[in-house]
Amino acid sequence: MRDAAPYLRPGATRRCRIAALTFAAFCAVAAAATLARAGTDSVLVWDALRVVFILLTTAWLAWGAAQAFLGLRRLPPLPRMDPPDCAPPPVAILIPICNEDPAAVRARVQAMRASVRAAGISPDFIILSDTSGEAAVVREQVMLSPLFDARPGFPAVYYRNRTERYGRKAGNIEDFIRRSGGAYEHVVILDADSLMEGETIAHMIARMEADPGLGLLQTLPRITGASSIFGRAMQFAAGFHSAVFSRGLARLQGATGPFWGHNAIVRVRALSQCCGLPELQGPPPFGGTILSHDYVEAALLARGGWRVEMDPRIGGSYEEGPENLLAFARRDRRWCQGNLQHMRLLGAPGLKPWSRFVFVQGIVSYLVALAWAAFLVVSFLAAMTAAQPDYFPEARQLFPVFPDDRTHQIAALVIGIGGLLLLPKLLILGEAVVTGRAGGHGGALRSAFSVLAETAMTALIAPVMLMFQCRAVIEVLAGQDGGWPATARGEGRLSLAQAWRATRWISLTGAGALISMRWVAPDLLLWLLPVALPMIAAPVLIAATSRPWGRGLFVVPEEIATPPVVAAYREARHDAARDHEVSDVPLVPQA
């Protein structure tokens, strides 16, 4: 049913792609040309490398800004999907878990089970466990046992724990599809921390039934439950900025959209026909199990002729986020390896050009960290080899004066790159105020202060994240496998000692860079401070931002009016936390 998303029509998608690519190319060439005109008196190769690196990094920034600009125009209202006249199709809600807190899993299933019942649908809930260790499995089954009662009118809940745990999450779902997928028309794939309203699931089922060519429909999950400064800032940014960025992404992706691995519905026939993932030849990190399987599955569905759509208008879809920067960096390390692994898949036969481009985007999103770091290093080397002019001829002068009238070019470059970073956020703030969306974030004034605070915090931790990403890329390129570390859900407050142990290498690198610049080019020391000082203060920043934070800033709509499924989950979670003593374990229905 194409009318459900008219903005995804091929002509509109093509125009958006051309506009975004043209804008990114123009900004990149303009930045490179500006830097080339402002070349130093250093060795020519350093200036040439700096031009190349600024070309790459500016193109990436401009591409992100283009998504925001495309998303400023609102999408048409979400159409009402009437339930089909015939009997509803059999649907399964898949919840893959691996060594998760079983009390939280139970509470989420209880909340969603009641919500889908209220929505008038009855999908089966399938808990697909990869939990290992006899004691952990028994504890999991005991805690989940209240879900297995056959209550009239409530959806059934099934559970299985597999012993051959190949393929991680993708293999877990593949095992279910091979064994039991024929019993269902569609599957809703969740993560262990996902929540979805019953009305949302009903809408997605109706969309799939109305459009036989739709293979996958992805929602935009909203982050809930954050309590730390870092977590709440991420939660706010995801709710406030992603509302616009996701509209731009939807327009760019069209019917070859993304799959993020959860909070989406997939047609079983399409999944079974197209998405059997092989083990890549060779050892990890580039061989073995495909880590970022979701983007690969989306590409395979598109190759098979199915449409893959992301609709940010669909509400009632939630997940949790990391509560501190170290937890975020661990997750990002896995994403880095998974995205770089896609280098092996760029030449896979039959893929659509845009699917290959999406792989390139994911690869570049991490390589660009190396490009930024290389730009800084090359600039340092250029300063070492250049004849040293007097950049600050006047006393108490804040901005340097470059020889041969280079000041204007450098200033233009700084303003342009700063504009690509800040202008999208300012325009999104304006859009939120004009449309009234800011009301869900505490009003226009509070939203403005939240955007300012989130931008300042992002600027402070950006050099730290740059170092984490550079290390991750170097490790992967050097052949070091990061594996699939367990998700530390609920990990929040960190001590200064914990932060120091994890980031002392960043602090020492920042201190070394500052000392070296003081020795080589003291006049440029001021320009290095915004990068070096956050690196030196990394342990303090990480520990401080892991502290709890109240509701003064970073307000999201889910705090003003708690969604019913989230409220039900929190109540059930409180009850499940007290339920530690069960006399016996009932027979677990196997999926």
**pLDDT tens digit sequence for 8-20:** 888 999 999 999 9
Distance, CA of 207 to CA of 83 (rounded, Å):
9
Dihedral sign, CA of 421, 368, 382, 47?
Answer: negative
Predicted confidence at residue 2, as pLDDT, reads 44
Distance, CA of 132 to CA of 480 (rounded, Å):
25
pLDDT of 564 > 60? The answer is yes
Q: Supply the DSSP symbol for 440.
A: G
Query: Residues 126-155: what's their mean pLDDT?
Result: 92
Long-range contact pairs involving 437-444 (C-beta distance under 8 Å, separation at least 24): 437/243, 440/555, 440/556, 440/557, 440/560, 441/236, 441/239, 441/240, 441/555, 441/556, 441/557, 442/553, 442/555, 442/560
Mean pLDDT of the chain: 91
Whole-Å CA distances, 33 to 29, 37, 58, 377, 382:
6, 6, 12, 20, 18
Give the tokens for residue 260: 């993020």
Predicted confidence at residue 390, as pLDDT, reads 58
Q: Which residues pair with 548 in a beta bridge?
A: 228
Predicted confidence at residue 582, as pLDDT, reads 46
Q: Which of 3-7, 130-134, 368-372 has the lowest mean pLDDT?
A: 3-7
Distance, CA of 56 to CA of 50 (rounded, Å):
10
* Percent of the residues in the chain that have a pLDDT greater than 90, as a whole number: 77
Q: Which residues pair with 264 in a beta bridge?
A: 189, 218
Confidence band, pLDDT 50/70/90 cuts, at residue 519: confident
Distance, CA of 231 to CA of 408 (rounded, Å):
39
Give the tokens for residue 231: 């977590």
pLDDT of 584 > 50? The answer is no
> Could you tell me which residues come within 8 angstroms of residue 409 by beta carbon, excluding any fewer than 6 positions away?
34, 35, 37, 38, 402
**pLDDT tens digit sequence for 372-424:** 999 988 887 877 776 555 556 666 666 666 555 566 777 788 899 999 999 99
Predicted confidence at residue 39, as pLDDT, reads 65
> Residue 69: exposed, middle, or buried by beta-carbon count in 10 A (0-12, 13-18, 19+)?
middle
Predicted confidence at residue 583, as pLDDT, reads 38
DSSP3 helix / strand / coil % (the chain, rounded to 5): 60, 10, 30
**pLDDT tens digit sequence for 533-559:** 999 999 999 999 999 987 789 999 999
Give the tokens for residue 490: 């609920």
Give the tokens for residue 252: 């760019």
Dihedral sign, CA of 233, 234, 240, 245?
Answer: positive
Predicted confidence at residue 403, as pLDDT, reads 54
Distance, CA of 208 to CA of 178 (rounded, Å):
21
Q: Supply the DSSP symbol for 348.
A: -
Indicate the pTM of the whole model: 0.92
In the Cβ-directed half-sphere of 197, how many Cα atoms lie within 13 Å? 16
Predicted confidence at residue 574, as pLDDT, reads 86
Predicted confidence at residue 392, as pLDDT, reads 65
Strands 317-319 and 214-218: unpaired
Long-range contact pairs involving 574-583 (C-beta distance under 8 Å, separation at least 24): 575/107, 576/103, 576/104, 576/106, 576/107, 576/110, 576/143, 577/103, 579/103, 579/143, 579/146, 582/142, 582/143, 582/145
**pLDDT tens digit sequence for 274-292:** 999 989 999 999 999 999 9
| Residue whose entry in the numeric block shows the structure tokens 């989230």 | 566
**pLDDT tens digit sequence for 457-487:** 999 999 999 999 999 999 999 999 987 766 6
Could you report how far apart the first and last alpha carbons of the chain are, in Å?
32
Distance, CA of 415 to CA of 53 (rounded, Å):
17
Q: Over the Cα atoms of the chain, what is R_g?
A: 25
> Could you tell me which residues come within 8 angstroms of residue 295 by beta carbon, excluding any fewer than 6 positions away?
258, 259, 342, 358, 359, 362
Helix axes 496-520, 353-385, angle to 10 degrees: 50
Query: Which amino acid would we find at residue 543?
Result: A
pLDDT of 21 > 60? The answer is yes
Residue among 481, 127, 69, 110 at smallest CA distance from 251: 69
**pLDDT tens digit sequence for 193-211:** 999 999 999 999 999 999 9
Query: Phi, psi (5° rounding) for residue 160?
Result: -150, 145
Confidence band, pLDDT 50/70/90 cuts, at residue 3: low
Predicted confidence at residue 1, as pLDDT, reads 43
Confidence band, pLDDT 50/70/90 cuts, at residue 55: very high
Predicted confidence at residue 92, as pLDDT, reads 98
CATH class for domain 91-228+242-320?
A: alpha beta
Query: Residues 529-535: what's their mean pLDDT?
Result: 95
CB 2 within 8 A of CB 211: yes
**pLDDT tens digit sequence for 78-93:** 888 776 667 889 999 9
CB 260 within 8 A of CB 218: yes
Give the tokens for residue 197: 């309203």
Residues in the chain: 591
Strands 186-189 and 91-97: parallel
